[in-house]
């Protein structure tokens, strides 16, 4: 079920009403919100509801087994078993086809036949997200940061529909206490102005900006880069940077806003990522719940920055490569992760050299900061070429046109395209107090004026947006 649809509007209206009517009855509320979440997930394909239930069962049972194991060795064994089961489900649905095809291609080049059958397996929506949530829950129990929650609470935690199919990745320590105290929520304490702002901003970014740049320049240029000029390729790459930001941050804005209307707080997922001054800074701002997940459950357990520069670079590369593979089962995603791993390693090396020379880790001053932001954005866009490309050939065609395509006209670089890209990047440079000021002003309106304002904004978004709504990009991850 897509957020910007009539189906979801009706669904959320019913859920919102019953959510607050059942709030004083904890068990009934949990049963209802779990059922609603399963309806939401099964709207696309009801058969995958069983996968969600299976993943939830593995998370619940694994947490109990880890907690009850009498020795550290047994606890590690139970944790390992749970991780194998969770990643096994993820691997089968997301990576079996990729792995078998890669092995088959490698053996075919040697004149041999692959040992595995090539199967066409449908990728369940959101499997990467709820798998990582389940893993963090069991690992935190192993680390004694959590104790097993009641099975119904765990089921609601994993399946809660606002975060279910594309994040943010919410940890047990963040959501389970809210589920336990759900009966104490008070609808009068909802921060309605902030929730409304997030939902409207998310809709604008997704329906207007992301959809427009996608159809106006990104999709046509990536589909046939050799038919377009170097300038069109540049704007298509910048356009994709805007598209994926507006698409994904728009989704999480709506998700956070909807959760807020139901009385729950989710962590932020984006913080103006294209204002970053380095790749390290970028990953502190982009898809933050995944970045912090990879840091806490992969990078630090590998050793982090301990053990010397060689270990640091190894850990950065492993984390980024696996982060790339998490996004998709294709070698282009691995290449995208490798680009960021190499970039982060070089950035760390440069900062270390500056510190040893008695200089600040990062040059300061307006021109220096502007250059850092510009250079970081261009490097991120280089990675986006591989992220968006259908294959290495497609990525190479895009990059080669930057050298060979300067004599061609650029009819697709129109004023609306340039404006949409400028707005998509420019909104990240708005003062931090801008959103707060808008919310405070909206909060001072009466109920009638608030309703009229929201209706006007929705009319504006609907007028500018295209017919229909394409699925969110991160649904396929």
Cα-Cα-Cα-Cα dihedral of 301, 307, 313, 316, to 10°? 20
Of 163, 228, 287, 327, the catalytic one is 327
**CA gap 230, 413 in Å, rounded:** 11
Q: Where do we find the tokens 């970039």?
A: 343
Look at the alpha carbons of 389, 394, 395, 400 in this order and tell me if their dihedral is positive or negative. negative
348 is catalytic: no
Beta-carbon-side half-sphere exposure of residue 7 (alpha carbons within 13 Å): 10
Q: Residues of 405-420 as b/e, b for ≥16 C-beta within 10 angstroms?
A: beeeebebbeeebeeb
- Residue pair 233/164 in contact by the 8 Å Cβ criterion: no
Close Cβ partners of 174 (under 8 Å, ≥ 6 residues apart): 265, 266, 267
- Which burial class, exposed, middle or buried, applies to 358 when counting CB atoms under 10 A from its CB (0-12, 13-18, 19+)? exposed
Close Cβ partners of 465 (under 8 Å, ≥ 6 residues apart): 207, 208, 211, 212
Question: 136: helix, coil or strand?
Answer: helix
Among 337, 315, 339, 342, which residue's Cα sits nearest to residue 327? 337
Angle at 382 between CA 346 and CA 366, to 5 degrees: 65
**CA gap 333, 327 in Å, rounded:** 7
Catalytic residues: 327
């Amino acid at each position: 079920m897509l957020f910007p649809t009539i189906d979801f509007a009706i669904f959320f209206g019913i859920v919102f009403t019953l959510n607050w009517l059942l709030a004083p009855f904890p068990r009934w509320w949990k049963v209802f919100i779990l059922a609603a979440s399963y309806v939401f997930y099964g709207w696309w394909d009801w058969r995958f509801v069983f996968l969600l239930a299976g993943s939830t069962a593995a998370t619940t049972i694994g947490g109990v087994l880890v907690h009850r194991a009498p020795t550290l060795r047994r606890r590690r064994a139970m944790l390992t078993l749970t991780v194998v089961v969770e990643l096994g489900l993820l691997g089968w649905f997301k990576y079996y086809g990729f792995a078998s095809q890669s092995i088959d291609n490698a053996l075919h080049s040697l004149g041999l036949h692959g040992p595995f059958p090539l199967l066409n397996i449908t990728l369940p929506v959101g499997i990467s997200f709820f798998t990582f949530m389940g893993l963090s829950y069991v690992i935190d129990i192993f680390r004694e940061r959590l104790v097993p929650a009641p099975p119904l609470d765990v089921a609601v935690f994993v399946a809660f529909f606002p975060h279910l199919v594309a994040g943010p990745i919410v940890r047990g320590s963040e959501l389970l206490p809210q589920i336990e105290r759900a009966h104490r929520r008070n609808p009068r304490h909802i921060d309605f102005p902030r929730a409304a702002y997030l939902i409207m901003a998310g809709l604008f970014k997704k329906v207007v900006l992301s959809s427009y740049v996608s159809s106006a320049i990104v999709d046509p240029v990536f589909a046939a880069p050799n038919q377009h000029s170097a300038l069109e390729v540049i704007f298509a790459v910048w356009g994709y940077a805007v598209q994926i930001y507006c698409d994904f941050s728009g989704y999480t804005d709506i998700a956070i806003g909807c959760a807020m209307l139901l009385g729950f707080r989710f962590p932020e997922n984006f913080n103006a990522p294209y204002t970053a001054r380095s790749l390290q800074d970028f990953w502190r701002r982009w898809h933050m719940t995944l970045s912090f997940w990879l840091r806490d459950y992969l990078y630090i357990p590998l050793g982090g920055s301990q053990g010397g520069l060689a270990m640091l670079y190894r850990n950065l590369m492993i984390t980024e490569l696996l982060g790339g593979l998490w996004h998709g089962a294709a070698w282009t995603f691995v290449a995208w992760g490798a680009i960021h791993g190499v970039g982060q390693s070089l950035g760390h090396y440069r900062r270390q050299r500056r510190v040893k020379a008695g200089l600040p880790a990062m040059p300061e001053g307006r021109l220096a900061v502007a250059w850092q932001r510009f250079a970081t954005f261009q490097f991120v866009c280089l990675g986006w070429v591989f992220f968006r490309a259908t294959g290495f050939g497609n990525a190479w065609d895009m990059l080669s046109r930057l050298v060979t395509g300067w004599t061609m006209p650029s009819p697709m670089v129109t004023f609306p395209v340039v404006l949409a890209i400028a707005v998509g990047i420019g909104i990240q440079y708005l003062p931090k107090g801008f959103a707060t000021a808008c919310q405070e002003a909206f909060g001072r309106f009466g109920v009638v004026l608030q309703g009229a304002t929201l209706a006007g904004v929705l009319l504006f978004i609907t007028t500018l947006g295209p017919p229909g709504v394409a699925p969110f990009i991160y649904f396929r991850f």
